[in-house]
Amino acid sequence: MNKVFLVIQREYLARVKKKSFLLATILTPLIFPTVMGIFLWIAVGEEKGASLRIIEVVDDNNLFFLESRDQYAFSFSKVAIDEGKRQVQSGERFGFLYIPKIQLDSPTGITYFGETNPSMTFIADLESSLKRRIEEQRMMESGIDPKVLDAYRTRVSIQSITLDNSGNEKINDATINYGIGFFTGILIYIFIFVYGNQIMQGVIEEKSSRIIEILVSSIKPFQLMLGKIIGIGAVGLTQFLIWLMLIAGVSSIVIGYFGMQMPQQTAMELASPAMTEMSNMNINNDYSEIIQVIGGINFVKIALTFVFYFIGGYLLYGSFFAAIGAAVDTPSDAQQFMLPVTIPLLIAYLGLFVFVLDDPNSNVSFWLSIVPFTSPIAMMGRASYGVPFFDLALSMSLLIIGFLSTTWFAGKIYKIGILMHGSKVNYKTLWKWIKMD
């Protein structure tokens, strides 16, 4: 046991001490905001930099009026179609919209000419503007005042409350549950792949640099494998913990910053109380609801579930990666054995989106969250909505049995594989190794 600890220590320190670890740990959480920032920056720059795009509109019905936007302006005229097209070709106009005489109940023949392919949102935008105008016109024709209709429009939102056995009520918001399930599930998926790969690389390194024979003359192969898996897992947990602290730190700074700005906002609101009164009520309602929803979520339970499946899933797949590393001589040879690892992980990943987050209580969701190969990812999708105790207990015990057995199988492959050099290994040979005693 002492020796396993030595291996854990070495694997851990060898990675944590590296500069690349520090860099990855600090930079990774910044990648997403940075990429978003760059896109926003480019988009804003584009909007500002782009000259106003003028679109010539010829309406033979004299019916339509299109309001100009930030990026588009509409110019109405009675030019001939050919002249309109010419203007687009010569670059005088960005586009040319031709609306022929139309029947209001079946408007056809509306055509847009542009030098470039217009974006889908742009066309959809145009379509909805025209549609609204046509609808209004038809209502007027049948004697309905569109303003009256607007007044009848009503917004409905249903508050969903779960009742548990003891009669406690809990307000739900599927969006927040979805978000938590989505985020934690993806995190486990990524973690398994990234750190599983590190295990595999580590095993291949020891095998190809021939340290392995010296190591196994001091320590049992199984202990060595276990130490490596745990040590690398600890690196991952450390990295994760640092991220949590970074996020907590950054968000407290952000909240602090906006908190400072709050008084100004309230001052402004005070200046025009009548105007803000209504919207304030709305906001307050939304806020209190969100806070109630967040308060209703059992974060401790979700966090504990997350940690369990995070570690359980890693251990289950980690031993697979170790066995693959032991069976091959180079990382490129490892490709042929990756399928049994990637397929169940992909099923879990897709299952999370297609089934679990959509309906956490369906049969498919149940099985995805019970089978150990998919449960670490799929169960997180259910956990955020709340899972019956029985399901959770069954899934967790199966996962424990699952990783104990994959570790046992992997240990057998590992033990023989690490001493095999240059021999061709396929699934048949792996099976033989497992059967050997």
Partner 1 sequence: MNILEVHHLHKAYENHIALQDVSLSIPKGSIFGLLGPNGAGKTTLIRIINQIIDRDSGEIFFNNEKLQSKHIPFIGYLPEERGLYKKMQVWDQLIYFARLKGMPLQEAKTKVNYWLDKLEIQSWREKKIEDLSKGMAQKIQFIATVIHEPELLILDEPFSGFDPVNAELIKNEILELRKKGITIVLSTHRMESIELLCDHIAMIHQSKLILSGGLLEVKRKFRKKIYKVILEPYGDLEVPKEWKSITADNQMIFEVPLQEKSPNVLLNEMIAIGEVQGFSEIIPTMEEIFIQQIKSHSYE
- The nearest distance, CB 9 to partner 1, in angstroms, is 9
Give one word for 54, left, alpha or beta, with left for phi > 0 and alpha for psi -120 to 50.
beta
Token digits of residue 73 = 């302006």
Token digits of residue 47 = 């909007």
Closest CA relative to residue 216, chosen from 423, 403, 432, 420: 420
Smaller CB separation from partner 1, 153 or 435: 435
Smaller CB separation from partner 1, 297 or 430: 430
What is the CA 46 to chain-centroid distance, rounded? 27
Closest CA relative to residue 413, chosen from 312, 313, 317, 319: 319
Token digits of residue 349 = 């990943």
Q: Quick check: 220 binds partner 1 (CB under 8 A)?
A: yes
Closest CA relative to residue 315, chosen from 152, 167, 196: 196
Alpha carbons 1 and 359: distance in angstroms, whole number: 45
- DSSP for 27-59? HHHHHHHHHHHHHHHHHHHHHHHSPPEEEEEEE
Helix (H, G, I), strand (E, B) or coil at 373: coil
Q: Quick check: 427 binds partner 1 (CB under 8 A)?
A: no
Q: For the range 366-371, what are the long-range contacts, defined as Cβ-Cβ under 8 Å and sequence gap of 24 or more?
A: 366/391, 369/395, 370/394, 370/395, 370/398, 371/398
Segment contacting partner 1 (CB under 8 A): 42-50, 215-223, 359-367, 390-398?
215-223
Alpha carbons 295 and 172: distance in angstroms, whole number: 10
Smaller CB separation from partner 1, 21 or 182: 21
Smaller CB separation from partner 1, 217 or 261: 217
- The nearest distance, CB 230 to partner 1, in angstroms, is 16
| Contact set for partner 1, span 404-423 (CB under 8 A) | 419, 421
Gap between the terminal Cα atoms of the chain:
23
- The nearest distance, CB 218 to partner 1, in angstroms, is 4
Q: Quick check: 432 binds partner 1 (CB under 8 A)?
A: yes
| Contact set for partner 1, span 47-106 (CB under 8 A) | none
Smaller CB separation from partner 1, 323 or 368: 323
Segment contacting partner 1 (CB under 8 A): 187-195, 205-213, 291-299, 398-406?
205-213
Q: Quick check: 330 binds partner 1 (CB under 8 A)?
A: no
Alpha carbons 199 and 361: distance in angstroms, whole number: 35
Q: Quick check: 213 binds partner 1 (CB under 8 A)?
A: yes
- The nearest distance, CB 179 to partner 1, in angstroms, is 40
Token digits of residue 426 = 């396929």
Segment contacting partner 1 (CB under 8 A): 134-142, 213-221, 251-259, 290-298?
213-221
Segment contacting partner 1 (CB under 8 A): 80-88, 113-121, 126-134, 204-212?
204-212
Q: Quick check: 401 binds partner 1 (CB under 8 A)?
A: no
Which of 38, 43, 123, 214 lies at the binding interface for partner 1 (CB under 8 A)? 214
List, in order, residues 6 or more apart from 339 with CB less than 8 Å away: none
List, in order, residues 6 or more apart from 99 with CB less than 8 Å away: 57, 58, 59, 60, 61, 64, 110, 130
Segment contacting partner 1 (CB under 8 A): 2-10, 128-136, 238-246, 262-270?
2-10
Q: Tell me the site size for partner 1, rule CB under 8 A.
A: 20
Segment contacting partner 1 (CB under 8 A): 62-70, 89-97, 208-216, 310-318?
208-216
10 Å CB burial of residue 184 (0-12, 13-18, 19+) is buried
Segment contacting partner 1 (CB under 8 A): 75-83, 110-118, 169-177, 218-226?
218-226
Smaller CB separation from partner 1, 2 or 157: 2
List, in order, residues 6 or more apart from 58 with CB less than 8 Å away: 76, 77, 78, 79, 81, 84, 96, 97, 98, 99
Which of 38, 190, 211, 255 lies at the binding interface for partner 1 (CB under 8 A)? 211
Q: Quick check: 216 binds partner 1 (CB under 8 A)?
A: yes
| Contact set for partner 1, span 5-34 (CB under 8 A) | 6-7, 10, 14
Site residues, partner 1 (CB under 8 A): 3, 6-7, 10, 14, 205, 209-211, 213-220, 419, 421, 432
